[in-house]
Structure 1
Amino acid sequence: MNIIEILASNLVVGSIQVTAGDALGFLTGLLCVWLTAKASIWNFAWGMVNSLILGLVFLDQRLFADSALQVVFIALSIQGWWQWKVRGNPQASRFRATTWHEQAILLAVASIMAWLMWLILVELRGSAPPLDALITALSLCAQWQLNRRQVSSWYWWIAVDLISVPIYWSRGLYLIACLYVVFLALCVYGLRNWQQTRRTQSPMAIA
């Protein structure tokens, strides 16, 4: 039995039948987002574990863009770890604002990425090409902002969660869909926590 078959094995949680991958994705994802909301650097380590698990689950469900996204998340998590801590940059511990100009550029980039990935997914016959591509594009932009400790990243994650819940539920990934509902609540908490923390920084740090 390979690892994908193990993750696809069924478990019963209450009255709902889920897979081992759903359960592990739920637990590791919950821990990752909680640590991110608390601005702990360990969110990156658990994020990599979560991405590995979900990447295999999505691959089994033919959600190709979501599966490939997890590989990119692992790479971005390594970069984020470096940006937050390893390089020792004093700016790394400070929260940043995002200008409207930056947001406009990110929206344009996300739109182009989503369109290109949609064309690719149609050829690959993925399960949900338009939404799958949109989730991928928004998530990449959100993670890029998170690595830079930009408070605006939480708004992007909230958008990702709102789109993800119905698509994962429709694919029978009930526990992962519920996880994204919890993610949504944690994102609201994380947004408020980062905003409050940023307000306590010195004017030089905020700049």
Structure 2
Amino acid sequence: MNVLTWLFDARLVVAGHPVLWREVVGNLFGLASALGGLRRKVWAWPVGIVGNVLLFTVFLGVVFHTPQERDLYGQAGRQVFFVAVAVYGWVRWSQARRVAREHGQPDAPAVVPRWAGRSGWIQLGVIGVVGTVGFALVFRALGSWGPWADAWIFTGSLLATYGMARGWIEFWLIWIAVDAVGVPLLLSAGYYPSAVLYLVYAVVVASGFVVWWRARGEREPQQVTAGAGVAG
């Protein structure tokens, strides 16, 4: 138990600021998941879940006695929803890969990128606005640090993850908007490793958008489309 406690509380000091190793490791798992998503690999989902679990304990600073001693309820809460959406994406992409193998296409990608289209953008836009306003009020009532920024990061992250599961190219653009708000918030709250990783994410996200945009013309086998469509 002492070893587990040490692993949970292990920290390093960066520029005079104590930083939890699990914050660093959790973000590295998140970065690996983003890279896997860029390459449209199924393993991106379970890797991301590991990072989500670690970061959940990081952003409840008061509850888990982190060096920051600040609760970011949006940042913590989105880790829970990430796991739920990741399971959806994991199942959806796995179905597509399995069907592709059954039809003699073992190297077929787990998803073929496409634009969300008008209906998709209406869906994303409405949920983005309503979700941000609603969660901002909730987070402010709970005493979250930076409730409006936290609410957008929470809502935008869920939309981006859902868009990735659906194979919508626009999800990369949503991540850019999340990063633009997330970096200042995390810096002001003292979560420096997460802020730095957000900057790295921005580079990965920009690359991912270009890669998926170029891949949008790939031919998706009819059988794979049918298999992947089961999840909705």
Could you state the TM-score of these two structures normalised by the residue count of structure 1?
A: 0.88
Other-structure match for 1:65 = 74
Q: Take 2:42 and 2:34, find their aligned partners in 1: how far apart are those partners?
A: 11
Other-structure match for 1:86 = 95
SS in 1 for 2:60: helix
Question: How far off its partner does 1:20 sit?
Answer: 1.3
SS in 2 for 1:93: coil
Counterparts in 2 of 1:11 and 1:86: CA distance versus 1, 3 Å: same
| Superimposed CA distance per residue, residues 142-180 of structure 1 (whole angstroms, 9 cap, x where no aligned partner) | 111111011111010111111111111111111110100
Other-structure match for 1:151 = 169
Counterparts in 2 of 1:3 and 1:125: CA distance versus 1, 3 Å: farther
SS in 1 for 2:93: helix
Other-structure match for 1:43 = 44
Larger radius of gyration: 2
Q: Take 1:108 and 1:143, find their aligned partners in 2: how far apart are those partners?
A: 16
Structure 1 residues not aligned, in runs of 5+? none
Other-structure match for 1:117 = 135
Question: How far off its partner does 1:201 sit?
Answer: 2.8
Other-structure match for 2:116 = 98
What residue identity is the alignment partner of 1:68? Answer: G
Question: How far off its partner does 1:46 sit?
Answer: 0.8
Over the aligned positions, Cα root-mean-square deviation in angstroms equals 2.7
Other-structure match for 1:52 = 53
Question: How far off its partner does 1:116 sit?
Answer: 1.0
What residue identity is the alignment partner of 1:64? Answer: Y
Question: How far off its partner does 1:203 sit?
Answer: 10
Question: How far off its partner does 1:127 sit?
Answer: 1.1
Q: Give the total of aligned pairs.
A: 206
Structure 2 residues not aligned, in runs of 5+? 62-69, 101-108, 226-232
Question: How far off its partner does 1:17 sit?
Answer: 4.2
Could you state the TM-score of these two structures normalised by the residue count of structure 2?
A: 0.79
Counterparts in 2 of 1:129 and 1:2: CA distance versus 1, 3 Å: farther
What residue identity is the alignment partner of 2:216? Answer: R
Q: Take 2:83 and 2:6, find their aligned partners in 1: how far apart are those partners?
A: 22
Q: Take 2:25 and 2:189, find their aligned partners in 1: how far apart are those partners?
A: 17
Task: Tell me if 1:189 matches 2:189.
Answer: no
Counterparts in 2 of 1:2 and 1:144: CA distance versus 1, 3 Å: farther
